Chains A and B, each alone.
Chain A
Amino acid sequence: MIRKVVANTDVALDGIADGMTLMVGGFGLCGIPENLIAALRQRGTRNLTCISNNAGVDGFGLGLLLETRQIRKMISSYVGENDEFERQMLSGELEVELIPQGTLAERCRAAGAGIPAFYTPAGYGTEVAEGKEIRMFGGKPHLLEHAFDADFALVKAWKGDEAGNLIFKGTARNFNPMMAMAGRITVAEVEELVPAGTLDPNAIHVPGIFVHRIVQGTHYEKRIEQRTVRPKNPTI
């Protein structure tokens, strides 16, 4: 077995330097690598390009790195929940590239699957298509989109083992598996780090070959963005 365990989040981020491109897993605040984001803030690395579906909220998720101006450019599909983000974007401090969510997912997947580019119908006829090759398949126009190239991928899983195998829970899976596959160096933080042989090999979502470093997360706030509930005892 090849061991991937590192001692803590600082060691896990070793090698991340100013100006690098990072993938950061999660959808909204669901399934984000909150311990690695906190460590990255401590580290103070700057001029980062972050590929992440969203940009967190004020004071949590990637919002923490926006506060400290560590991010130079965001590549996302939806960024509507963050006032500081909007301020930096409108003032020109932050560069933002918005791309369709399925294209974002597939550009990650392609990177992890050794596919340099692919065609998708999403965005044809819109400003997303500007400057891109268009080709007809089955009478329908498609855009040529390229795989991402990220120096590091920071992902979060529910469980992981010493060999770097990962299992996700609920909708916290989202972009994490494809980003894990895509990073030149992939760092996974997990809620529960277990010895090899503990996880059922049939149940592994991401094989350890894609994970270079795995670390036990020490604190999970797991903030909920929109708490929506039904009353427990409805009056009839």
Chain B
Amino acid sequence: MALDKNGIARRIAQELRNGWYVNLGIGIPTLVANYIPDGIDVEFQSENGILGMGPFPFEGEEDADLINAGKQTITALAGASLFDSATSFGMIRARKVQLTVLGAMEVSDRGDIANWKIPGRMVKGMGGAMDLVASAERIIVAMQHSNREGESKLLSACTLPLTGVGCVKKVVTDLAVLDIDPERGFILRERAPGVSVDEIIAKTAGRLVVEGEIPEMTV
């Protein structure tokens, strides 16, 4: 069965390593914070100016002066720090943040990503996504394998305006975990429980490499 949003988040949480600073985008990526594996210490960075971001506040304790990049009210954990936007993107460009998780509308088999604009229909802006993808050492994309029309979001070339080129190294969808090798394309690593390799092949429009037995994910 395909994973739900929480399943995708739980699988991505398995990629977290001790001591990493992590930036989580809006949507499914935000859920990753709910599934940090035991024994792993990470700190969450939100690009509007906080390191050591904690969970949502208790009812009645919301502070208008403490929000994340999704404009949601949050808390600060022990050891947290606050800073301005230039410092925040300084730490992003200087690669102090080890992992960025973000959503996407399209990803290409060369690691290009599009997630900020649908010409004529939706123009919300790139926010911090272009800065993050241009500089992050590890980018994991969290998204559905297909869009609402049932079309593959894993393409040979993005059709929408790009957010970044050749930057995505790993994609976790409701169906599969795939690495990206710009020379070879999407490398299928794991499939969601009960999802067949044939289904993944059928729903992947870009180049897909299937080598040997593809294990089911453990989530």
A105 within 8 A of B: yes
B50 within 8 A of A: yes
Surface stretch bound by B, among A22-30, A41-49, A65-73: A22-30
A104–B85 Cα distance when bound, in Å, is: 9
Q: Which residues of A contact B60 (CB under 8 A)?
A: 229, 232
Q: Which residues of A contact B48 (CB under 8 A)?
A: 27-28, 30, 171, 174
Surface stretch bound by A, among B9-17, B36-44, B88-96, B139-147: B88-96
With contact pairs A101-B89, A222-B64, A232-B59 given, residues A176 and B124 touching in the complex (Cβ less than 8 Å) = no
- Residue in A31, A53, A96, A226 whose CB lies within 8 Å of B72: A226
Q: How far is the CB of B91 from chain A (nearest CB, A)?
A: 10
Q: Which residues of A contact B71 (CB under 8 A)?
A: 27-30, 81, 225-226
Interface residues of A in 84-122 (CB under 8 A from B): 89, 96, 98-106, 108-109, 120-122
With contact pairs A227-B73, A230-B57, A232-B60 given, residues A103 and B131 touching in the complex (Cβ less than 8 Å) = yes
Q: Which residues of A contact B129 (CB under 8 A)?
A: 100
Tell me if A173 and B82 are in contact (CB < 8 A). Answer: yes
A79–B122 Cα distance when bound, in Å, is: 11
Most buried by A among B55, B126, B164: B126
Q: How far is the CB of B199 from chain A (nearest CB, A)?
A: 32
With contact pairs A123-B134, A171-B65 given, residues A101 and B127 touching in the complex (Cβ less than 8 Å) = yes
Q: Count chain B residues whose beta carbon lies closer than 8 angstroms to a beta carbon of A.
A: 53
Interface string of A148-184 (1 = CB under 8 A from B): 0000000000100000000011111111111000000
Tell me if A172 and B131 are in contact (CB < 8 A). Answer: no
Tell me if A27 and B125 are in contact (CB < 8 A). Answer: no
Classify chain A's interface size. 35 or more
Q: How far is the CB of A85 from chain B (nearest CB, A)?
A: 10
Q: How far is the CB of B65 from chain A (nearest CB, A)?
A: 4
Interface of A is mostly: loop
Q: How far is the CB of A32 from chain B (nearest CB, A)?
A: 10
A99–B131 Cα distance when bound, in Å, is: 10
Tell me if B86 and A106 are in contact (CB < 8 A). Answer: yes
Q: Which residues of A contact B61 (CB under 8 A)?
A: 229
Q: Which residues of A contact B124 (CB under 8 A)?
A: 78-80
Tell me if B73 and A224 are in contact (CB < 8 A). Answer: yes
Q: How far is the CB of A25 from chain B (nearest CB, A)?
A: 10
Q: Which residues of B contact A204 (CB under 8 A)?
A: none
With contact pairs A121-B135, A173-B49, A228-B73 given, residues A101 and B128 touching in the complex (Cβ less than 8 Å) = yes
Most buried by A among B60, B65, B85, B130: B85
Tell me if B85 and A124 are in contact (CB < 8 A). Answer: no
Q: Which residues of A contact B68 (CB under 8 A)?
A: 171
B202 within 8 A of A: no
Tell me if A125 and B125 are in contact (CB < 8 A). Answer: no
Q: Which residues of B contact A79 (CB under 8 A)?
A: 123-125
Tell me if A100 and B126 are in contact (CB < 8 A). Answer: yes
Q: Which residues of A contact B59 (CB under 8 A)?
A: 229-232
Tell me if A100 and B128 are in contact (CB < 8 A). Answer: yes
A126 within 8 A of B: yes
With contact pairs A78-B124, A78-B126, A222-B64 given, residues A175 and B73 touching in the complex (Cβ less than 8 Å) = no
With contact pairs A170-B82, A172-B65, A222-B64 given, residues A122 and B58 touching in the complex (Cβ less than 8 Å) = no
B67 within 8 A of A: yes
27 residue pairs from A and B, CB less than 8 Å apart:
A28-B48, A30-B65, A77-B125, A77-B126, A81-B71, A101-B128, A102-B47, A104-B85, A105-B86, A106-B86, A122-B130, A124-B164, A126-B130, A171-B49, A171-B67, A172-B64, A172-B65, A176-B84, A177-B84, A205-B84, A222-B65, A224-B64, A224-B67, A229-B57, A229-B61, A229-B62, A230-B59
A-B contact sample (5 more), CB < 8 A, given A78-B125, A98-B123, A173-B83: A80-B124, A109-B86, A125-B162, A178-B85, A232-B60
By Cβ-Cβ distance, the 7 closest A-B pairs, closest first, are: A102-B89, A102-B131, A80-B124, A125-B165, A170-B65, A100-B130, A222-B64
Mark B residues whose CB is within 8 Å of A.
46-50, 55-74, 76, 82-86, 88-89, 92-93, 112, 123-131, 134-135, 161-166
